[in-house]
């Protein structure tokens, strides 16, 4: 789920508000958007991908909202990592190429495979 917006990085472009497919975000009065409907977040990462200021952190847990430590996120190097790995960060000066390792999708894909396996097992029983 979307876990944090770094207001000091946000330029108020509202790309994230427009791109969110489930209307989780509302435009803020003073620039940074507001997380208005967290229960509708589907952890799709679109807001993070489209934030050219790398101001949004989406936590990989799609079921639970975690209280995150903004400083720890900054120090982790996670901010903007997804955009970089997809090759979308070059306009921000990242010219070293993208990794294309989809590193943060791994747990989601694994859970999908586990759900499919459980359904398949249930169908056979």
Minimum CB–partner distance for residue 43 and ligand SF4 (Å): 5
Q: Is 94 left (phi over 0), alpha (psi -120 to 50) or beta?
A: beta
3-state secondary structure of 78: coil
Interface with ligand SF4 includes 11 (CB under 6 A)? yes
Handedness of CA 94, 96, 101, 106 (dihedral sign): negative
Residue 4 backbone phi and psi in degrees, to 5: -160, 145
Quickly count: other Cβ atoms within 10 Å of residue 102's Cβ. 12
From candidates 3, 4, 10, 89, binder to ligand SF4 by CB under 6 A:
10
Number of residues in contact with ligand SF4 under rule CB under 6 A: 28
Residues numbered 33 to 62 that lie near ligand SF4 (CB under 6 A) are 33, 41-47, 50-51, 53, 55-56, 58
Torsion of CA 24, 33, 15, 4, to 10 degrees: -70
Minimum CB–partner distance for residue 124 and ligand SF4 (Å): 34
Minimum CB–partner distance for residue 52 and ligand SF4 (Å): 7
DSSP conformation letters of 104-118: TTHHHHHHHHHHHHH
Minimum CB–partner distance for residue 78 and ligand SF4 (Å): 14
Residues numbered 72 to 91 that lie near ligand SF4 (CB under 6 A) are none
Binding residues (CB under 6 A) for ligand SF4: these are 2, 5, 10-16, 20, 22, 24-25, 32-33, 41-47, 50-51, 53, 55-56, 58
């Amino acid at each position: 789920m979307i876990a944090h917006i770094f207001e000091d990085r946000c330029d108020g472009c509202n790309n994230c508000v427009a791109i969110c497919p489930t209307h989780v975000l509302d435009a803020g009065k003073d620039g940074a958007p507001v997380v208005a409907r967290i229960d509708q977040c589907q952890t799709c990462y679109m807001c993070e991908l489209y934030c050219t200021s790398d101001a949004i952190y989406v936590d990989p847990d799609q079921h639970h909202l975690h209280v995150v430590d903004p400083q720890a996120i900054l120090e982790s190097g996670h901010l903007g990592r997804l955009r970089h790995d997809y090759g979308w960060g070059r306009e921000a000066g990242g010219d070293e190429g993208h990794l294309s390792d989809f590193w943060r999708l791994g747990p989601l894909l694994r859970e999908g495979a586990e759900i499919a396996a459980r359904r398949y097992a249930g169908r056979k029983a």
